[in-house]
Amino acid sequence: MEASPTSKAFATDYKAKYGQEPDLYAAWSYDAVLVFAEGMKKAPALKPENIRKGILSIQKFQGAESELNFDQKGMERVAMSKEELMRDLQAKAMKLRRESLFVMKEMGMGWLGGSFSSADFVTALFFYRMRHDPKKPQWSERDRLIISKGHACEVFYAALAEAGYIPREELKTYSHCGSRLQTHVDCRTPGIDCSGGSLGLGLSFAVGAAIGAYISPDEENLKADVRHREARFRVYCILGDGECNEGQVWEAAANAFHYRLDNLTAIVDNNRFQSTGPVEKKMNMLSLGEKFRAFGWETREIDGNDLSEVIDTLDWALTVKGRPQAIIAHTIKGKGFPSLENTNCHFIKITDEILKTGLEALKG
Amino acid sequence: MKSRFLRKTRDVSESMYAGHNRALIDLAEKNGKIVCCYADFPPGQVGEVFQKQFPDRIIDVGIAEGHLISSAAGLADAGFIPFTHCHALFALGRGYNQIRHNVAYDHRNVKIVLCNSGVAWGGIGPSHLAIEDFAALRAIPNLVILSPSDAVSAGKATLAAADYAGPVIIRLPAVGAVYPTLYTNDLKFEIGKAICVHEGEDVAILATGIMVNDALMVAETLKKDGIRARVLDIHTIKPLDERAVLSAARETGAIVTVEDANILGGLGGAVAELTAEKCPVRMKRVGVKDVFGESGTSEEIKQCCELTPPFIQEAVQEVLKAKKGNVASKKRKTPRR
């Protein structure tokens, strides 16, 4: 058994009561009761389904045997070490960039800059943070991911294929007539929660969904004031920095604070370029971090291409109570493609040369 | 055939909004999915009842109509049936892309209530008087557009909208204005099925919203002159009841459309599009003649925008004359000697 303080305390108490060292079965039974009690604490009402949901949401619970993590399937995930996790996610982020290049090649042009700048936090969301099930894309309690900057869709399609929402072969259909993979994210694709393309709308959608997470449409007692319960799911919304020119982003920001939506995390892909040039020159919005802060959001500014920082910040977001969280991810446009990094590669032709150079840079 | 749900007299008047609100409260008491959303717009009775009984199901987003529509789409994704409320012109103007993209394109179960629509409600001025809503919204695929004519049908339209799986627009006139109640409380309201409120074979008056009552008054006046006018309450602008419109065209040969909206692209436009292709008839569109509204009393504005019964009657006389002219010219097959 791991010698955590909890295990040591358990071993001491057990020996004092029963006169012998506890074995694994004793520790498991003890943890099972603790887990059940924790599920009861999390449940808004002491009904079987509520307790079950409470148990499934348990993360980083220190048991006598080990740290316990549950996922929506009820399986205990064995906690990876941070190093193993980083290696795994970094490999995935590279893979998403490579795959997204192939996706872009189908159309012969693509939003390379934004797909590459966001690949790291997209990886962290899909493969570390979000509660979701690729086999049940319509699962009502899934975490929502609103891709408000709906144009850099290539990296998302790569993520959907990697996660198992769509078969990898389907990536070849991108941008072709009749495809489920449209040139901006679209609800017809399993795994996409809100169609994109019209900038500035996604954060509002995310606010509506986040409010909805705090009420249950199946509430038996229709007359109850049910706001003070745990959110059924979290909502993540990815915005572009140029997108924050749109006024509606700020309508949504005001509402998110007003309604205390602590289950809402916005991630701004702050890669400093918008469609026709650098953000600062086109429409200088000064500090987006300060703006979100001024709207009452708990805000962090991070290196959005440092997976370790991304993971830590997504973990931090879970701990915030009573306010929405804004993560200003300072990223490099085209990150991972050295000759294009920090240039306005917002939407470029994908020639055979670009494909070759990109794949070279993203090897292993 | 004339509807059996018509009241015998039109001696009671009520705000359509009151009918809508009663239906919302009735729905919310049985269905936890109903959520009412407002953009700093007075919720009326819904506010009092919901704040006491369902405080989580009434949301005010502030003066942010674009956000109102998009966030309602998010609520729909979370499993709810949101009804949004704000000035018609601002839902349309500031929320058009959102209606099209978040609601219609993704086929979300959102019901958008356009409040204070049309010119005939006075006071507030042209910045708030929506004449463009029918025309602009008809061109968006996947939308159902309802335009009830009294408090009872407004309530029934609300219930029908909640039942319908998809985006619905409900167009209501001035919140405070009262209009004669036309129907009994057991009215059978079916989306897409026009209601015949007056029988006749000489001319058909296809009216919607507050103008149905005016059309009825005109039909009753014409009866005294021996003209039998069929009046249809077109409470669903989209999908249009093509069967009822084409029957009216075939059986009367003369159509007048009446709406408190621009004559370009609204009910008149929809009827003209259909009949021009399938059954060309003499037609006259009564409505706002492509001008902006004005501040004033309801009576003043209806007069200056030519929306009163005398103008409807004039339109009827015009199409009847043209119809007669048609018939006469058809008879003259051989040249005069």
Q: Which residue among A213, A227, A247 sits closest to B78, beta carbon to beta carbon?
A: A213
| DSSP β-ladder status, B144-146 and B236-238 | antiparallel
pLDDT at residue B217 tops 70: yes
* Closest by Cα among B110, B189, B111, B205 to B154: B189
* Residue of B51, B77, B99 to mutate for A, most A C-beta atoms under 10 A: B77
By mean pLDDT, which of A29-43, B61-75, B142-156 is the weakest?
Answer: A29-43
pLDDT higher than 70, residue A5: yes
Mean pLDDT in residue range B286-303: 91
Q: Are residues A56 and A152 in the same domain?
A: no
Examine the fold and report which residue of A68, A92, A111 is the final residue of a domain before the chain moves on: A68
Q: Report which residue type is found at B288.
A: V
Burial class of residue A108 in the structure, from the number of CB atoms within 10 Å of its CB (0-12 exposed, 13-18 middle, 19+ buried):
exposed
The whole-angstrom distance between A27's CA and the closest CA on chain B is 39
Alpha helices in chain A (DSSP H): 5-18, 24-42, 48-56, 82-107, 112-124, 154-163, 202-213, 247-258, 279-282, 288-294, 307-319, 352-361
Q: What's the pLDDT band for B100 if we cut at 50, 70, 90?
A: very high
Residue B108, min C-alpha distance to chain A (Å): 10
Q: Is residue A77 part of a domain?
A: no
Above 70 in pLDDT, residue B86? yes
Name every chain B residue with its beta carbon within 8 A of the beta carbon of A258.
62
Hey, what are A255's tokens? 């509402």
Q: How far is B80 from chain A (nearest CA, A)?
A: 6
- What predicted TM-score, i.e. pTM, was given to this entire model? 0.88
- Helix segments in B31-173, DSSP class H: 45-53, 65-77, 88-98, 133-138, 151-163
**Number of other residues whose CB lies within 10 A of the CB of residue A181:** 25
Shortest CB distance from A222 goes to which of B54, B80, B97? B54
Is the sign of the CA dihedral A97, A99, A103, A108 positive or negative? positive
pLDDT at position A136: 94
Task: Give domain status of residue A99, yes or no.
Answer: yes
The yes/no answer to whether this complex scores an ipTM above 0.90 is yes
Last residue of a domain, one of A68, A100, A117: A68
Residue A74 lies in a domain: no
A207 → closest Cβ in B31, B54, B71: B71
Query: What string of H, E and C letters represents the secondary structure of A178-207?
Result: CCCCCCCCCCCCCCCCCCCCCCCCHHHHHH
Give residue A225's domain range: 82-361
**CA geometry: angle A305, A302, A342, nearest 5 deg:** 45
Residues 6+ apart with CB under 8 A from B303: none
Of the listed ranges A20-24, A111-115, A188-192, the one predicted with least confidence = A20-24
Please give the mean pLDDT across all residues of chain B: 94
Q: Are A194 and A187 in contact (CB under 8 A)?
A: yes
Cβ density class B223-235: b for 16+ within 10 Å, e for less = eeeebebbbbbbb
The answer, yes or no, to whether residue B296 has pLDDT greater than 80, is yes
Return the exposure string of B87-117: e unless at least 16 CB atoms fall within 10 Å of the residue's CB, then b.
bbbbbbebbbebbbbbbbbbebbbbbbbbbb
pLDDT at residue A223, as a whole number:
60
Asked if the structure places residue A73 within a domain, the reply is no
**CATH 3.40.50.920 intervals, chain B:** 195-328
**Does A208 sit within 8 Å of B71, measured CB to CB?**
yes
| pLDDT (0 to 100) of residue A73 | 62
Tokens linked to B180: 């004669």
Point out the residue among A194, A200, A254 whose CB comes nearest to the CB of B106.
A194
- Rounded to whole angstroms, the Cα distance separating A143 from A140 reads 9
Could you tell me the sign of the dihedral formed by the alpha carbons of B204, B207, B213, B215, in that order?
negative
Architecture per CATH, B195-328? 3-Layer(aba) Sandwich (3.40)
Residues A221 and A134 in one domain: yes
Better-scored residue on pLDDT, B194 or A10 = B194
Interface of B with A in 238-297 (CB under 8 A): none
In terms of Cα–Cα distance, which of A309, A305, A276 is closest to A118?
A: A305
Percentage of chain A modeled with pLDDT above 70? 94
Res B225: pLDDT:
94
Residue extent(s) of CATH 3.40.50.970 domains in chain B:
13-180
Give the other-Cβ count within 10 Å of A57's Cβ. 20
* DSSP letter for each residue of B62-84: -S-HHHHHHHHHHHHHTT-EEEE
pLDDT of residue A1: 43
Per-residue pLDDT band for B332 (boundaries 50, 70, 90) equals: very low
Look at residue A247 in the predicted model and tell me its pLDDT: 97
Q: Residues of A with CB below 8 A from B35's CB? A: 212, 215
- For domain B13-180, say whether CATH 3.40.50.970 is its number: yes
Mean pLDDT of chain A: 91
B336 pLDDT more than 70: no
The rounded distance, in Å, linking the Cα atoms of B116 and B171 is 8
Residue B92 near residue B145 (C-beta atoms within 8 A): no
Across the beta sheet with A298-303, the strand order is A144-147, A235-240, A264-270, A325-330, A298-303
Of B56, B59, B79, the CB nearest to A140: B79
Cβ separation B55–A225 shorter than 8 A: yes
Pairing, β A348-349 against β A109-110: antiparallel
Q: Is residue A133 domain-shared with residue A36, that is, in the same domain?
A: no
Mean pLDDT of all residues in B193-214: 98
In terms of domains, do A55 and A93 share one?
Answer: no
How would residue B123 be classed by pLDDT, with cut points 50, 70 and 90? confident
Instruction: Provide the pLDDT confidence category of residue A222 given band limits of 50, 70 and 90.
Output: low
Could you give the number of structural domains in chain A?
2
Q: In terms of domains, do A11 and A158 share one?
A: no
| A124 plus A30 within the same structural domain | no
- The count of CB pairs under 8 A between chains A and B is 122
φ, ψ (nearest 5 deg) of residue B335: -65, 150
Neighbours of A147 (CB within 10 A): 25
Is residue A173 in a domain? yes
Q: Does pLDDT of A226 surpass 60?
A: no
Q: Please report the pLDDT score of residue B333 as a whole number.
A: 52
Q: Please write the tens of the pLDDT for every residue from A294-336.
A: 999 999 999 999 999 999 999 999 999 999 999 999 999 999 9
Using CA atoms, how far residue A267 sits from A197, A220, A272, A318, in Å, is: 17, 35, 14, 14
Classify strands B13-14 and B179-180 as parallel, antiparallel or unpaired: antiparallel
Quick one: A110 and A194 in the same domain?
yes
Cβ contact A252–B70 (<8 Å): yes
pLDDT at B129 over 50: yes
Give buried/exposed letters for B277-295 (b at 16+ CB in 10 A, else e).
eeeebbbbbbbbeeeebee
pLDDT higher at B46 or A77: B46
Separation between Cα atoms, residue A294 and residue A281, nearest integer Å: 23
Smallest Cβ distance to A212: which of B55, B74, B97? B74
- Range 39-78 of A in CB contact (< 8 A) with B: none
Among candidate residues B247, B146, B153, B142, the one with its CA nearest the CA of residue B191: B146
Residues A216 and A318 in one domain: yes
Please state at what angle helix A352-361 crosses helix A82-107, rounded to 10 degrees.
170
Share of chain A above pLDDT 90, in %: 73
The predicted model gives B266-284 an average pLDDT of: 98
Is the CB of residue A143 less than 8 Å away from at least one CB of chain B? Answer: no
Of A68, A90, A118, which one is at a domain's C-terminal end? A68
Q: Does B328 touch chain A (CB under 8 A)?
A: no
Alpha-carbon distance B292 to nearest alpha carbon in chain A (angstroms): 27
Residue A225 is predicted with a pLDDT of 59
Total residues belonging to chain A: 364
A223 to B54: CB separation less than 8 angstroms, yes or no = yes
CATH number of the domain residue A310 falls in: 3.40.50.970
CA separation for the pair B259, A314 (Å, rounded): 54
Q: How close are the terminal C-alpha atoms of chain B, in Å?
A: 46
- Sequence-separated (6 or more) residues with CB below 8 Å from residue B71: A204, A205, A207, A208, A211, A252, A255, B37, B59, B61
**A260 and A112 in one domain?**
yes
pLDDT in tens, A53-81: 888 888 888 888 877 888 766 665 556 78
Comparing A43 with B76, which gets the higher pLDDT? B76
